[in-house]
Amino acid sequence: MDEDEVAAAVDAIVGALDPATCRVVMASDGEELVGWLVIRRDTFALISHWGMLHRVQSRPERRGEGVGSALMTEARRIARDEMGLEQLRLAARAGIGLETFYGRLGWKEIGRWPGALRLGPGDDRDEVLMFLQL
């Protein structure tokens, strides 16, 4: 992504922020942003009890230091205690160990979309669908 694409993505996220429907959770080390994620929920009555995690990311050089676990723990707390959600969902890229990472935190794999993610020519990956009861 170039700088303009990143700026547009950030603007879209910031524009959607709302305490009831969209939150950003960030992890920092001093002045350095080391990880972040977005919690979203729909207000439609049939599905307003669950939320979706988006853009779960940590700096690659900081992986293995507990940043991701801390983010996920805080996201769980915010979703349950502040947003009143009962369930969380996320979709993760297969083939890099994310299923194991999330599984250690209580998430369950509930399905896959085969070949849903095209990282490049000849590099298609499953999207792993995961669920957490709060």
- Kindly tell me the burial class for residue 25, based on how many C-beta atoms sit within 10 Å of its own C-beta (0-12, 13-18, 19 or more): buried
Contact 111, 118 (CB under 8 A): no
Residue 51 above 90 pLDDT? yes
Mapped onto helix, strand or coil, the DSSP state of residue 102 is helix
Q: What pLDDT sits at residue 93?
A: 94
Residue 6 above 70 pLDDT? no
Q: What pLDDT sits at residue 112?
A: 97
Average pLDDT, the chain: 90
Q: If you average pLDDT over residues 38-48, what whole number do you get?
A: 95
Residue 10 above 90 pLDDT? no
Q: If you average pLDDT over residues 46-75, what whole number do you get?
A: 93
Q: If you average pLDDT over residues 17-41, what whole number do you get?
A: 89
Q: What pLDDT sits at residue 97?
A: 92
Q: What pLDDT sits at residue 15?
A: 66
